[in-house]
């Protein structure tokens, strides 16, 4: 029978991971709803907004610098009950996020059309892209602060508030999309620019509620107005490898997409459909990763490496069970999910092939999510950098490039992909079991 201590640990894990998982799920659903609404305006509008969202993913490379580093450092301080140090780090991250967001604002606003032209789009898509991303750039301070506030609260184990905020802001975004894109409730129809304005307002709504919440609940987090270079050094020590990892990963995935595109338009469409469905499926993995990162950081801050190890094992088992069940549905009912995104038979067939194969790899994917999160929480971001980047380049991208040159059957490309997932999960398990992460100093 489980002891009261183990039940308490399980409740704590679920109270952090489940709200975080649903928050990420809502993030993805909001993007899908945006694309569905924009899709009614035509292919050029859809391409402009879709590519603009890809640009935002590139900006995540910059945000990872203070998101991962800040999460690990703040969780350590909270675990050791040094709340004043956590608040000093919080204030310095706020300043850093604002400075980075202003840079992103200026570059995005001045070069938005050029970005689209560099990607090889036509003039119509570039014109719409300038309207969309140029407008969205004005919201960069809110976008950067939203990421900061969510991850700071996650480091403190407070993910429920972030879920409630996201539910409210998603509703605001959908309502404003309806009003501003199509011209309802007395507003002019602004098309893609209306979608950008709706997104900016929803992020501003998030930041406003986060600021109100933090100002009222000062038991753990509040601003401590003190500039600390040593705090930023600690954040950079953890965050720079994580940011570099994200940059290389995004670049490698772009190469992988280029490999998929060699197999034709239907193959590329099937991959995109399958990827979106899988994205909805592995959202719980992000939630469990955040829980592992926060709890490991707090436990190591409290000098309790045993609790950090045991909590990670528990989270891994729960995530593997949850995502394994999802994997069963992907294996046996892929056509059911694919038909919601496309009615083209070939696209559904190729998306189903992708989903069947990735369904088989959901358990090792869960292991990868949780253990990489745990290692980041411990500050072992150089280790996660080496594992993720090395695995992606040498076990996925390079074999895929070779296989694409000798066969026209995309099955083998997907087989390489899930093989890489299994091997990477095994490597993470081995590194975690070695236990060297328990002695990392931040």
- Indicate whether 61 pLDDT > 70: yes
Q: Per the structure, how many domains does the chain have?
A: 2
Q: Would you say residue 7 lies in a domain?
A: no
Q: Check whether residue 22 and residue 95 sit in a common domain.
A: yes
Closest CA to 311 of 300, 290, 296: 296
Q: Check whether residue 187 and residue 275 sit in a common domain.
A: no
Q: Check whether residue 185 and residue 290 sit in a common domain.
A: no
Q: Check whether residue 289 and residue 405 sit in a common domain.
A: yes
Band (pLDDT 50/70/90 cuts) for residue 102 is very high
Higher-confidence residue: 9 or 300? 300
Q: Check whether residue 253 and residue 322 sit in a common domain.
A: yes
Q: In sequence order, which residues have a C-beta less than 8 Å from that of residue 278 and are 6 or more positions away?
A: 330, 354, 355, 358
Concatenating the DSSP letter of every residue in 359-409 gives HHTHHHHHHHHHHHHHHHHTT-HHHHHHHHHHHIIIIIIHHHHHHHTT---
Least confident of 25-29, 158-162, 176-180, 394-398: 25-29
Band (pLDDT 50/70/90 cuts) for residue 315 is very high
Band (pLDDT 50/70/90 cuts) for residue 221 is low
Residue 213: alpha-carbon gap to chain centroid: 23
Closest CA to 291 of 68, 14, 69, 8: 14
Domain that holds residue 330: 237-442
Least confident of 199-203, 407-411, 412-416: 407-411
Q: Would you say residue 2 lies in a domain?
A: no
- Angle at 74 (CA atoms; ends 73, 75), nearest 5 degrees: 90
- Indicate whether 200 pLDDT > 80: yes
Q: In sequence order, which residues have a C-beta less than 8 Å from that of residue 78 and are 6 or more positions away?
A: 86, 155, 156, 157, 220, 297, 298, 301
**What average pLDDT score do residues 12-19 get?**
82
Q: Would you say residue 387 lies in a domain?
A: yes
Q: Check whether residue 222 and residue 241 sit in a common domain.
A: no
pLDDT at 80: 84
Q: Check whether residue 249 and residue 283 sit in a common domain.
A: yes
Higher-confidence residue: 4 or 347? 347
Band (pLDDT 50/70/90 cuts) for residue 4 is low
Residue length, the chain? 442
Q: Would you say residue 232 lies in a domain?
A: no
């Amino acid at each position: 029978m489980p002891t009261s201590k183990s039940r308490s640990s399980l409740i704590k894990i679920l109270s952090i991971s489940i709200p975080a998982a649903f928050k990420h799920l809502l993030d993805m659903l909001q993007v899908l709803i945006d694309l569905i609404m924009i899709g009614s305006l035509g292919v050029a509008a859809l391409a402009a907004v879709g590519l603009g969202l890809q640009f935002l993913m590139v900006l995540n490379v910059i945000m990872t610098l203070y998101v991962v580093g800040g999460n690990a450092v703040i969780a350590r301080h909270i675990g050791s009950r040094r709340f004043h140090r956590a608040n000093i780090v919080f204030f310095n991250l706020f300043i850093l996020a604002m400075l980075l967001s202003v840079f992103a604002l200026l570059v995005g606003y001045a070069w938005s059309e050029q970005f689209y032209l560099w990607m090889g789009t036509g003039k119509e898509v570039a014109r719409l892209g300038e309207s969309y991303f140029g407008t969205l750039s004005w919201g960069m301070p809110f976008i950067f602060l939203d990421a900061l506030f969510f991850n700071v609260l996650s480091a403190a184990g407070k993910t429920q508030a972030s879920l409630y905020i996201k539910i409210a802001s998603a509703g605001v975004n959908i309502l404003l999309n309806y009003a501003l894109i199509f011209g309802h409730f007395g507003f002019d129809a602004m098309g893609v620019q209306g979608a950008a304005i709706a997104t900016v307002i929803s992020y501003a709504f998030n930041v406003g509620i986060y600021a109100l919440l933090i100002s009222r609940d000062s038991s753990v987090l509040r601003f401590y107005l003190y500039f600390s270079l040593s705090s930023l050094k600690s954040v950079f020590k953890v965050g720079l490898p994580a940011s570099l990892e994200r940059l290389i990963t995004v670049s490698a995935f772009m190469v992988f997409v280029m490999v998929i595109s060699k197999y034709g338009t239907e193959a590329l469409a099937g991959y995109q459909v399958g990827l979106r469905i899988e994205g909805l499926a592995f959202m719980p993995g992000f939630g469990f990763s955040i829980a592992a990162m926060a709890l490991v950081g707090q436990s190591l801050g409290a000098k309790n490496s045993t609790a950090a190890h045991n909590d990670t094992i528990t989270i891994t088992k729960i995530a593997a069970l949850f995502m394994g069940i999802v994997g069963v549905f992907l294996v046996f009912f892929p056509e059911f999910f694919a038909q919601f995104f496309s009615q083209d038979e070939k696209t559904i067939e190729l998306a189903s092939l992708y989903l069947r194969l990735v369904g088989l790899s959901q358990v090792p994917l869960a292991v990868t999510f949780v253990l990489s999160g745990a290692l980041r929480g411990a500050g072992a971001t150089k280790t996660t950098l080496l594992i993720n980047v090395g695995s992606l380049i040498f076990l996925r991208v390079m074999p895929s490039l070779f296989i694409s040159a000798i066969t026209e059957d995309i099955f083998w490309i997907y087989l390489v992909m899930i093989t890489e997932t299994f091997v990477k999960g095994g490597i993470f398990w081995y590194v975690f079991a070695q236990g060297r992460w328990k002695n990392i100093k931040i």
